[in-house]
């Protein structure tokens, strides 16, 4: 009895599980066919991951970090200024 597991013979794995005789009989009903072992690649091809290009001056990264700090700070300053300028003063008549 031969089974394939990721391109390798899995007969030992099948036998180690201890399938019952009814499971072995069911396998005959679900048998599809043999796998053509020549269709598997002999050695998997390795493709290295793509890396980002090297940016020695890092100017754009620095600008983004500064803007991430300054824009919220400017919004907060604007909100405080609007609140201060539109504040109703309680003037006694």
Give the pLDDT confidence of 38-83 residue by residue, as tens digits. Answer: 777 677 777 888 887 766 666 677 788 889 999 999 999 999 999 9
Alpha-carbon span 54 to 57, nearest angstrom: 9
Can you give the pTM of this predicted structure? 0.33
Q: Measured between alpha carbons, how far is residue 65 from residues 19, 53, 70, 75, 76 in Å?
A: 61, 19, 9, 16, 18
Q: With 60 as the cut, is the pLDDT of residue 91 above it?
A: no
pLDDT of residue 6: 62
pLDDT of residue 7: 59
Mean pLDDT of the chain: 78
Q: With 70 as the cut, is the pLDDT of residue 14 above it?
A: yes
Q: With 70 as the cut, is the pLDDT of residue 24 above it?
A: yes
């Amino acid at each position: 009895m031969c089974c394939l597991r990721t391109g390798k013979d899995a007969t030992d794995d099948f036998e180690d599980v201890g399938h019952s005789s009814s499971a072995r009989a069911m396998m005959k009903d679900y048998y599809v066919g043999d796998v053509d072992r020549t269709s598997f690649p002999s050695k998997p091809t390795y493709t290295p991951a793509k890396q980002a290009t090297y940016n020695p001056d890092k100017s754009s990264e620095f600008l983004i970090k500064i803007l991430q700090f300054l824009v919220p700070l400017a919004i907060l300053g604007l909100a405080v200024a609007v609140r201060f300028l539109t504040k109703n003063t309680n003037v006694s008549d």
